Structure 1
């Protein structure tokens, strides 16, 4: 059994909701085999309070979560990523940094719960749905036999995960 810990980056433009949800989910559900990070191309500098509420309500860690730029991860001494997943269509269409180590990439886009307008109940429901979609994708990802699957098959599986329930229209084969 491998003791390898895989570094995983979740990217979104503002790094306030979807990518932060995914970071927390993988850090708890990754069974010690993954270290998750999130970042944005244009971070807003705050984590959406509904994201914190949904994570807290489901028993996921929120301490230390913050909205940050992907530039932090291009600095000397930054962790080298094994996987990079975009979770919003805008980030998927942007020119991403060149990641050291050439990580595997895929697009796992879901609709932005922070874009939902309406009552707090409607906003909360959008965040719960986003949380569920991301948790399902992450569960599928963590069950992959990473140590024994070849790179081409792994890439196919990662893209398939991105097409799971709740996928945005950009998901068929972006990465």
Structure 2
């Protein structure tokens, strides 16, 4: 089983969605966790759009990457789901972790009324689900050779 860590800026939206998708869609091959560069507060609009798809994030808490690092945690794959610039602030975890960056828009920076932001978050949610599914497919096709 591969251990995958998703990281975004505050662990309040994108990394939480990616973790939930990988836990369900890749449960046989992957153990997924998420954290932020800093711990934040989970975005209630993200909780709402994930509930539309049958994912309950209402009781999720946020965690900071450096707390996991201090615990000596290691991962096979570390995927940042924020901008390239923000991802460069992510600590290096011990081991031979494959590092990937999937830059998705930040739901906390969306503008517009509630309905407009919900619509945009649904798009981000669907993009994340598609990327996670592609990652699972690539692993099933290439196995551990995807690390080479």
- The alignment's TM-score, normalised by the length of structure 1, stands at 0.75
Which structure: greater helix fraction?
2
1:92 to 87, 91, 98: 87
Cα distance in 2 for partners of 1:49, 1:104 equals 31
| Aligned counterpart, 1:111 | 105
Work out which structure has the larger RCO, using CA pairs closer than 8 Å and 6 or more positions apart in sequence.
2
Matched, 1:121 2:115: yes
Structure 1 residues 54 and 11: alpha-carbon distance in aligned structure 2, compared to 1, 3 A threshold:
same
- The alignment's TM-score, normalised by the length of structure 2, stands at 0.88
2:95 to 79, 101, 105: 101
* Cα offset, 1:148, TM superposition: 5.0
| Aligned counterpart, 1:59 | 54
How many pairs align? Answer: 145
* Cα offset, 1:47, TM superposition: 0.3
Give 1:25-104 correspondences, 5 Å limit: 25-44=21-40, 46-62=41-57, 64-76=59-71, 78=73, 80-89=74-83, 90-94=85-89, 96-104=90-98
Structure 1 residues 88 and 148: alpha-carbon distance in aligned structure 2, compared to 1, 3 A threshold:
closer
* Cα offset, 1:63, TM superposition: 5.7
RMSD: 1.8
Stretches of structure 2 lacking an aligned partner (at least 5 in a row): none
Stretches of structure 1 lacking an aligned partner (at least 5 in a row): 153-175
| Aligned counterpart, 1:13 | 9
